[in-house]
Amino acid sequence: MNSSVKTTSRGAVPAPDPVLTEPAFAPLIAEHGHLEPQVADDPFRRLVLAIVNQQLSVASAAAIRGRLLERFEVSPDAMLAAEPEALTAVGLSRRKAEYVREIAAAFLEDGLTHAAFEAMPDDEVIERLVRIRGIGTWTAKIFLMFGLGRPDVFPIEDLGIRRGMTNLFGELDEGEMREIAERWRPERTRACLYVWRAADMTRGG
């Protein structure tokens, strides 16, 4: 039975939207409207850009992304063919340049196409990606959300998510954050868009 609907004597009625009915999101929805994740057309490129973003400020990451995209076609073939020195010249650290090339090799050697990922459940995608050096659980979850458009991902590892949850609900441990997020199933990806907005709020302000 489809979990998104409930059956009554009058037929199937859509279940309430777990994001739009979250009381804590009401001010954010009023301010930002109905948010939807922006899913990348190219999963490989989205994964490489997630590596670029790791442990950098927004401004620094944006500058490196711009130089990378200007100089290279961000495809597995092009990244594997690129000399490490050419990648570091656009601002990538030597380690990140190695990660990008290893991701490219894995995509080519293991046939990690968009279609291949579409056939995998979320847990299998994460398990497959974290075998590649440089990809941890956080990066894999961000890829699920914005590379593959999976609707029910909750990246508890993300500092912005933790800060947003604290701003919305007060001091919580990880278990309590997960428990609250359970009520947003099966739309936790959309819910996270509002939690990230909440990360920028000043508590009590």
The one-character DSSP state at 204 is T
pLDDT, tens only, 77-132: 999 999 999 999 999 999 999 999 999 999 999 999 889 999 999 999 999 999 99
Which helix or strand (DSSP H or E) is residue 21 part of? none
How confident is the model at residue 202, as a pLDDT?
61
How confident is the model at residue 12, as a pLDDT?
66
- We find that the CATH architecture of domain 43-146 is Orthogonal Bundle (1.10)
| Domain span(s) for CATH 1.10.340.30 in the chain | 43-146
193 pLDDT higher than 90: yes
Question: CA nearest 35: which of 142, 160, 195?
Answer: 195
- CA torsion angle 53 59 26 195 (round to 10): 30
| Domain span(s) for CATH 1.10.1670.40 in the chain | 19-34+154-199
19-34+154-199 is a CATH 3.40.50.720 domain? no
pLDDT, tens only, 17-75: 999 999 999 999 999 999 999 998 899 999 999 888 887 788 888 999 999 999 999 99
Q: Which long-range contacts (CB under 8 A, 24 or more apart) does 8-15 make?
A: none
Residue with tokens 């990880």: 174
CA torsion sign for 167, 34, 186, 15 is positive
Counting Cα atoms < 13 Å in the Cβ hemisphere of 193 gives 20
Q: Rounded to the nearest 5°, which phi and psi values hold at 107?
A: -60, -40
